[in-house]
A and B are shown apart, each in its own frame.
Chain A
Amino acid sequence: MKGSYLIGRLLSAIPTILLVTFFVFIAIHLVPGDIVDIIQGTQNFLTPQQMEDLYRQYSLDKPVPIQYMIWLGNVLKLDMGISMRSGQSVAQLLVEKIPVTFQLSIMALGLSLLIGIPLGITSAIKRNSPLDHSVRFFGLVGLSAPSFWVGALLIVWVSSTVQNFTIFGYVPFHHNPVQNLQVMFLPSITLGLMIAAQILRMARTSMLDVMSQEYIKVAKAKGAKNRKVIFHHALRNALIPVTTTAGIQLGFLFGGTIITESMFALPGMGRMLLQAVNERDYPLVQGVVLFIAVVIVLLNIAVDILYTFIDPRIELS
């Protein structure tokens, strides 16, 4: 039952992924100027023959749909091509950059769940108290403050108050865990604050919703302790919509990493994508886009399956 559902979902995701990569392929090729123009622009001594060779080397002499088919065929053979700019293989570059973005996303999501769920739930339990009002206002501010401004504030504030805190200078976790966590901390807050605000609002609304349900009243009428009602009966049900929100946020997270990584000079995928688009590095852009599309689609499926564990009433269909 679950197996066939999974296969069906995965199959239905394929057209979406193809459509996305095709759109992007067309889009990036419509951008005026290509890699050969860029090489020509910086070095300016290519003969017409050399330019033609370059075009052929990058298969830019063929029509765009054919180029797409060639690219797709190679991807199916697990060959994502070579970055036009650096000459490294796209797969190699992805493997290098993904850990940074992955760590950033996980830390941001973790922080936002850690902030958002307890605040949202407490706010709902103590409805209309001063605490509720301030938490709700905090939620609105979190939704409204642009992440790069929050990042700027954090940088200014931390650099002027905390001694010996490393803000810039990424090192991989296995080289220096302390410095790694220090460097990743501010970016994670920057990226996570807006998601925390969304999760907080969703947790509050859905907790209020659940608390007004009949079965909660019944549980209370039966004389169950308040604490037990909240943790045993309400919380689990209230967390279902929160999972959806968190799932939707994961896509947003990838968009957010572009800004956060640029701001904190982290060598991740988002910054690489921005650079690749600016440099018209087609294979690299395609590789990153394919990766993001696949991850988002898989995450959506994972979220759907996660529901069935949280809420056995939901059936996969």
Chain B
Amino acid sequence: MSNRKAFRRGFRRFAKNPLQLGSLIIFAFVVMVVIMPHVFAAYDPLKMDYTALMKGPSVQHWFGTDQFGRDILSRTAYGAQNTMKIAVLSIMMATGIGTVFGVVSGYFGKWVDQIIMRVIDSFFAFPSIILALFIIAMFGASMTNLIIAIGVVYVPIFARTIRGSTIALRESLFVKASRALGKSHLKIMITDILPNISSIVIVTFTTNLSTALLTEAGLGFLGLGVPPPHPTLGSMVGQGNNYLLSAPWMALFPGLVIAVIVLSINIIGDGLRDVLDPRVGK
């Protein structure tokens, strides 16, 4: 009951800022598009129409058409679905694996921590897009491989953040009390540590969701995304880039959609941090 109250109070604090409320509404709309793109797409995203090649924005085609006469608005809707799917699933994967590594590393410390952190550091030394590029080149471009590639790239970020919070908790009284009562390490990690780092996990999830979206878009732009003809927002910008001066709408509209989605996630993330992270406070 008190949980619900706290949630409501937090939400009210969050919604007081019009920018945050607006972002939440935009993001809710994006989620709707992602769940049912067919409602928002007037055309089949893969259907070519040779009577309407590279047409500018019009009443029939709000975002114009591409070099095969495909409707860009419809492709953007389905592209957003693919892009969001990859970003959300890869960050969920990174959250899962990173949390396990982070908690284990921070809780046990000593040589366990040393080994895990050394490997993580060597990943950290590398620009994420280059790492993802290698993984995609290794396994080939497909949706599953993209999710794995981006997921792997983000594991170190989660592991590091969560390790830090776990170390702080490890020395706290209630954990020591649990040890004294004879609880097993595993049980302490699950029942004592995890619930107390959940808000940090949520904040890290949102802030990295937006950068994962940008990573996916970047890979798509470089031609390493989901193979054609299936659209993702990044690959649409990449293809449109070849027609920038003759048909700028091909690249600019999908790019705008990426920017708006990422912007709304970033604003929501900032707001969540203010509400959830006690260290930031006022």
Binding site for B on A (CB under 8 A): 15-16, 19-20, 23-24, 27-28, 30-32, 137, 140-141, 143-149, 152-153, 155-156, 159, 251-256, 258-259, 262-263, 273-274, 277-278, 289, 292-293, 296-297, 300
Residues of A within 8 A of B135 (CB): 27
A-B contact pairs, 29 of them (CB 8 A): A16-B122, A27-B134, A27-B138, A32-B140, A144-B259, A144-B262, A144-B263, A147-B218, A148-B218, A148-B255, A149-B237, A149-B251, A149-B252, A152-B237, A152-B255, A155-B245, A252-B127, A255-B127, A256-B127, A258-B133, A258-B222, A259-B129, A273-B130, A273-B133, A274-B133, A278-B137, A292-B130, A293-B126, A296-B125
B266 close to A (CB within 8 Å): yes
Q: Are A19 and B122 in touch, CB under 8 angstroms?
A: yes
Residues of B within 8 A of A146 (CB): 214, 217-218, 221, 234, 237, 255, 258-259, 262
Chain A residue with the shortest CB-CB distance to B126: A20
What's the tally of chain B residues with a CB closer than 8 Å to chain A? 43
Chain B residue with the shortest CB-CB distance to A30: B138
Q: Are A277 and B126 in touch, CB under 8 angstroms?
A: no
- A251's partner among B126, B240, B255, B259 (CB-CB below 8 A) is B126
- A140's partner among B126, B138, B266 (CB-CB below 8 A) is B266
Interface string of B225-256 (1 = CB under 8 A from A): 00000000010011011001100100110011
Chain B residue with the shortest CB-CB distance to A259: B218
Chain B residues touching A, majority SS? helix
Binding site for A on B (CB under 8 A): 19, 118-119, 121-122, 125-130, 133-135, 137-138, 140, 210, 214, 217-218, 221-222, 234, 237-238, 240-241, 244-245, 248, 251-252, 255-256, 258-259, 262-263, 265-267, 270
Min CB gap A58→B, angstroms: 18
List 5 extra interface pairs beyond A152-B241, A253-B127, A292-B130, CB under 8 A.
A28-B138, A32-B140, A140-B263, A140-B267, A258-B133
Q: Are B222 and A259 in touch, CB under 8 angstroms?
A: yes
Residues of B within 8 A of A273 (CB): 130, 133
**Bound complex: CA A242 to CA B281 (Å):** 22
